[in-house]
Structures are given as C-alpha cells and as structure tokens.
Amino acid sequence: MGRGTTSTGTSTRGATTTATPGITSTTSAATPAPPGAAGRRTAFALLGSIQITLIYTLAAPTVPLPRIARDFTLQRSDLILLSAAYGLAFAGLLLLGGRLADRYGGLRALTAGLALFAAASLAAPLAPGGQALLAARFAQGAGAALVAPAAMAVLRALFPSPAAHARAMATWGALSVLGATAGNLLSGAISALLSWRWALAVPPVVALTALFLAPRLLPGTAPSRGRSLDLPGAVLATGGISLVGYGLVVTDAHPWTSAAVLGPLSAGAALLAAFLLVERRSRDPLLPPRFLLDRRRAAALTAVALTACGTASAFVLLSLHFQQARDWSPLRTSAAFVPFAAALIACGAAVRPLTDRHGARAVTAWGLATGSAGLGLLSLTGLGPGTPYAIGLLPGLVLLAAGGAASFGGAAVLATEGAPARDAGLAGGVLNTALEFGPTVLFALLLTLGDDAASLAATAAAFAAVALIHLGHRRHARA
C-alpha cells in the first residue's frame, strides 16, 4: 500500500474488507458467482435504468433550451456549451472511469459514481443562473464517467459467458437511443406542464434509488489490485479529449482561425499525441494500443459515435425548428417525437433475435443504411416551415429510430466482443466515450456547416459510408 493509505482485513462471510482512499468495500478473492435467472433479470433492469438515465441527462435540456435561454438570458453560444458540458466531462473522464472500475471493482466504482452523479443532479434543477447550471452539468458528466463503465463491468459479471454477454449487449445498445428519446419526450412534456427545472429533477431520483438498490441487487466484481491507475495517461487523455471537444464546440460562436478555437484544438491535439507516446511506453497503459488497432472494434466504435451524432442532430435541430420556425410549444414538440419512440421500442425488441440469427455485423450495417435513409429524408423534407408533419417528418423519424436501434445494438456487441473480463471497465469506457463523442464533438463539427439541412445530409452520407465499411468486413470474414 502507498503512503497515506490504510488497509484493514477482516473476515465477513469469507470476504475481505478493504479500505482505500475514497472507496471502502467488501470483495471476495475471486469474482462472485452471478445470481440466478430471476436475479439477473432484476439486476439487468436496474443497470438498464441507470444507463437510460445517463443518456436522458445528456438529452434533457434539448427541448427546454429556449426557455432556459429566456430565464437566464443566454445566447446561442451559451446554449451550445450548456448542451455540450455534460458530454465533454463524460467523454473526457471515461477512460479513467474504466480503469477505476477495473482496479477497484465494478460495484464499488458504480456506487461512488452514483453518489457524485446524484449530488450534481440535485444541484442542476436548483441552479440560480447559467454559470451554476453549467458547473452542475460538468459535475454530472464526471459522475457519469465513473458510472457508465462500472455498470458495464457489473454487466460482464452478470453474464460471464461470451454468448450471454453478447445477447445482453445487443439489448444494452438500444437502451442508449431509448434514453435520448426519453430525455426529449419527458423533458418537453414536463417543461410544458411544470418547468424545465422539474425536467432536470428526474436524474437525481433515479440515481438515489439506484444508489440504495445497487448493493442489494448487483453482484460484486473482483478488483485488479495489481493494476496501476496510469495517472499520466489519465491526465493527458482527459485534457486532450476535453480541449479538442471544447475547441470544436466553440466553432459555433468563433471562426476557425480565431485563438478561441485554435488554442484549445492545438493544446488538445498536443496532449493526445503525448498520451499516445506515454501509452506506448507504459507497462500497464490506460488504453492499450492493441484495443483500438482491432479493425472490427474500431469500425464498431465509429458506428456508435456516428449513430449518437445522427440521433442528437435530429433531436436538437428539429426541436429548435419546431419551436422557433413553427412556433410549437415544448409539449407539442415532444409529442412530435412519440412515433420515433414507438418505432425505437418496437425495433429495439427485434435487435437481439436479429443479432442471434444474422450476426452483429449485418445488423449494424442494416441499421446504418436505414438511419442514412431517415436522415436523408429529414434533410430533404423535414425543415420546411410549411411541410406537413405526416409527409415531411414522420417517415424520416421512423426510419432513423429503426436504424438507430439496430446500429447501436449491433455495434455494442462488436465493440465489446473479445475483451477479457479484466478489461470490462476499459471496454465500457471506450464504448461510452464513442457514445458521448458523437453528440458533442461530431455534432459540433456539423454545426460549422451553417445549414441545418446540410448537417443532416452530411450525417446521412457518413452513415452510408460506414455501413459499406461494415458490409466489407462481413464479406471479408465470410471469404
């Protein structure tokens, strides 16, 4: 143990109680056996609720943004940063969160992250001004960065066999789109009926409930005490990802050649380059180069980031279009996304059997192609002020929902396939980094096009390109 760290060991039903700075836990020397079938279903439901809430929190401010801007006198650039703050902190800290989950055990990291997430989520709806709300969003992202990979580490303990874990991941992937949909639907309805503050009050309720239930329903995971935290790598990765993301986000308010953009982009790129050098020389790297050099995994992570970007783009751009160009209320805006939610739930239920029958690669490619068609339709017909909803918007939304459910579900299986149990937190961290990278960094890049229809069309083209890559990998695997 290091200086300043104390450890005590006492027997409790064959387990060892270990106290480490900030984390006190009880673990077995070996990974505990997963619960029975009923217990696994209950545990999966709890973990799924947590994952949905993390993505709900990302999307929750989208529909109420105009009201938040009015209450706090915020400009468009302020709103973009407010929308991105959660995702920037989330993505920047996820690799460190994954290592903490692997080193200290998934359940302990999960409860610690839930505590931070709950505290920040309580502060968000009580924020007296825009700066306080921005700080709360950053803190929420930090807590989520620990919760998300820890939840996936626990999920791996629940379903230790590769086949069972792949089936669980097929369902898990669709939960992210469901969380984003819930964030838009519920936040709009709650904002219209009560206030946007009540829409932001949903996450702390779920987080506090999960914090109470997690130790009672979820299995512990054996920590990897021999692994280092790789603090140099963690600092470089966090700083690099956050600065690059911030630099791209502020391009909506500043030209590319300005110091406000070039400064953080250059600094972030330098930190990421240093991170790669440090990781190559590290004995126990935070992100082993081999993990991303797997072409299948790299293509899957690209699909995750792109699908998240496409879904977020459609929600944000259409939400603003409905309320600003069509003068719709938040409640009517939320109602416009109900068919999207219905299609998502229906198609999400089919992802698992389709993956079992046709393989995750085929499902991912099909999802990207379908999502491309949906985004293409929205770019052509969805943004005209006089375009009827049933003709110009509904078909594109339904196709995007079907494609998003399939793409997320299939890609989640591919992104975590083959990762050893000791790297479950790492796999979860990398997957969720891609998930947060899409709605923040990629979406910020799209905004620089300056035209909403062009942004949707560009995303549709990217969907089609990545679908072709997955089809190529599938044919190569068959050869």
- The residue ranges of every structural domain in the chain are 36-215+231-478
Find the mean pLDDT for residues 337-352. 82
pLDDT winner (highest mean) among 257-261, 267-271, 280-284, 408-412: 267-271
Answer whether residue 136 shows pLDDT above 90: yes
**Distance of alpha carbon 378 from alpha carbon 456, whole angstroms:** 7
**pLDDT over 70 for what percent of the chain?**
84
**Distance of alpha carbon 196 from alpha carbon 65, whole angstroms:** 9
**Distance of alpha carbon 287 from alpha carbon 117, whole angstroms:** 24
DSSP letters, 26-70, are EE-SSPPPP--HHHHHHHHHHHHHHHHHHHHHHHTTTTTHHHHHH
- pTM for the model stands at 0.72
H helix and E strand count, the chain: 20, 3
Q: Which residue has the tokens 């060892």?
A: 16
Q: What is the pLDDT of residues 13-49, one digit of tens each?
A: 334 443 433 333 333 344 455 567 778 889 999 999 9
**Distance of alpha carbon 286 from alpha carbon 96, whole angstroms:** 7
Point out which residues pair with 20 in neighbouring strands: 23
Of the listed ranges 73-87, 267-281, 353-367, the least confidently predicted one is 73-87
pLDDT band at 110 (very low <50, low <70, confident <90, very high): very high
pLDDT value at position 440? 67
Q: In what order do the strands lie in the sheet with 23-27?
A: 11-12, 15-20, 23-27
Q: Which helix (H) or strand (E) holds 157?
A: helix 130-158
**Distance of alpha carbon 79 from alpha carbon 130, whole angstroms:** 9
Of the listed ranges 91-100, 103-112, 167-176, the least confidently predicted one is 167-176
Answer whether residue 102 shows pLDDT above 60: yes
| Choice between 27 and 218, residue whose per-residue pLDDT is larger | 218
**Distance of alpha carbon 46 from alpha carbon 56, whole angstroms:** 15
* CATH of the structural domain 36-215+231-478, one choice from 1.20.1250.20, 3.90.550.10, 2.170.190.11, 3.40.630.10: 1.20.1250.20
Q: What is the pLDDT of residues 292-337, one digit of tens each?
A: 677 778 888 888 888 888 888 888 788 778 877 888 887 888 888 8
pLDDT value at position 190? 86
